[in-house]
Amino acid sequence: MEHLREVPEDERTCSRCGQAQKRIGEDKKRTLEYVPGHFVEHIYQLEKYACGKCREGVTTAEGGPTKVIEGSCADASLLAHVVVSKHVDHVPLHRLHRIYLRSGATIPVSTMSEWVGKVAELLKPLADRLAERVVKAFVVKTDATGLKVLDPESSENIECGTMWCYVGDDRDVVFRYTPTGEGATGPWEFLKGRTGYVQADAASVFDRLFNGQAASAVEVGCWSHGRRRLVALSDMDCRVAYPLKLIGRLYRIEHLADAKELSVEQRCSLRKQRSAPVLEKLKRWLVLTHQSEPPSSDLAKATAYILNHWDALTRFVDDGRLSLDNNLSEQQLRDIALGRKNYLFSGSHRAASRAAILYSLTRTCAQNNVPPLPYFTDTLRKIAAGWPQNRVDELLPHRWQPTPADE
């Protein structure tokens, strides 16, 4: 907001010679004001007419808002704010209840919880479409983290479920919740029959994706995990400085490719020219060290880990579309980790599954630099207005276009 302050007429003369002064510009002083959020209640009065003689055929004026949730007065903007507050800003609903109370709106926690569930159901087709895209992606990055869930049937009234994360092309992010950490209900089912690249850590739960039991995918290793045991020894064994230096050189080559904005073919050529010799030096050191170390030593275990997964770790050299590590997938799990520190647990297994839907969309928004609040507000309004199912792709974050204000 701009404010113009003019010099009074009687002060526009020169104090020395008395002639009229001319405008030569302006100085700008800035202040930043905070305007607290507030609620606006809209009341639509729809006139009704009826025949006084027949007492039938009531005519009601058209208009009024389209309900996002049937029977609820919550506008799409309010529903979006609740979802974003919980799944992006990690604000528990009981805390959000107190925040709203200070703004003059008394909204029970149970009501907001019901809203979150309804919104997840409305947006499920979008999350399902993201899942279809991820399954067909050139490379799928995957990882998982635990989530505590209330379960009355459990002896301790709480169970530890698993949030599986899958990242595909165009930075599509999909979360799937399973009550256990078993692969049969997680990656074995989601990636069943896959033959393309899958990038993950070397956890045994992913083995069936590569040995033909659940899929025949091509394994791509993660150097962040590969160097982890060496990093842990850096304060105790100076010998690990050399392999860590070589691994760091691999990352510097990638940074160079990013800075030069190389194409896939150019990046592959750079890797073969500069990364391959580094890997040869690294493997030579690993083999010699592993042979000279006692098998039970930590250094021997660290070298064995890398050597056992050498093919998967070096696969990136032959394809410029592959990355050195699985960090992009692990970054998506940070929202789950931050959330569970605040709301501690999910109310039920069903609620955790609905949270996976919303996390899929919020994290995909983050990867595509789409502001989540306007995205959810606009998308919910479009769905409430009867958005056609055959155009669901247009509502995905990477293709979303906000509705012009005049519409």
Q: Which two tokens stand for residue 108?
A: 């029970």
| Positive/negative CA dihedral, 344, 345, 351, 356 | positive
* Count of beta carbons in the 10 Å neighbourhood of residue 58: 9
Q: Which two tokens stand for residue 227?
A: 């160097």
- Rounded Cα–Cα distance for residues 387 and 74 (Å): 19
**Facing residues of 144 across strands?**
164
Q: Where are the domains of the chain?
A: 223-323
**Contact call for residues 298 and 229 (beta carbons, < 8 A):** yes
Q: What angle do CA 265, 271, 273 make, to 5 degrees?
A: 105
The continuous run of DSSP H or E covering 218 comes out as strand 218-220
Write out pLDDT tens, residues 309-357. 999 999 999 999 999 999 999 999 999 999 999 988 899 999 999 999 9
Pairing state of beta strands 197-199 and 218-220?
parallel
Q: Which of 212, 190, 217, 177 is nearest to 355 (CA)?
A: 177
Cα separation, 368 vs 364, whole angstroms: 6
pLDDT tens, position by position, for the chain (407 residues)? 788 888 888 778 887 887 888 888 888 888 888 777 888 888 888 888 888 777 677 888 877 778 899 888 899 999 999 999 999 999 999 999 999 999 889 999 999 999 999 999 999 999 999 999 999 999 999 999 999 999 888 888 899 999 999 999 989 999 999 998 888 899 999 999 999 999 999 889 999 999 999 999 999 999 999 999 999 999 999 999 999 999 999 999 999 999 999 999 999 999 999 999 999 999 999 999 999 999 999 999 999 999 999 999 999 999 999 999 999 999 999 999 999 999 888 999 999 999 999 999 999 999 999 999 999 999 999 999 999 999 999 999 999 998 876 44
Residue type at 97 in one-letter notation: H
The span from the CA of 93 to the CA of 363, in Å, is 20
Strands (E) across 50-199 are located at 59-60, 139-150, 158-167, 173-178, 197-199
CA atoms 240, 243, 245, 251: torsion sign? negative
Kindly state the tokens that stand for 257: 């490719």
Query: Looking at the DSSP assignment, which residues form a beta bridge with residue 141?
Result: 167, 199
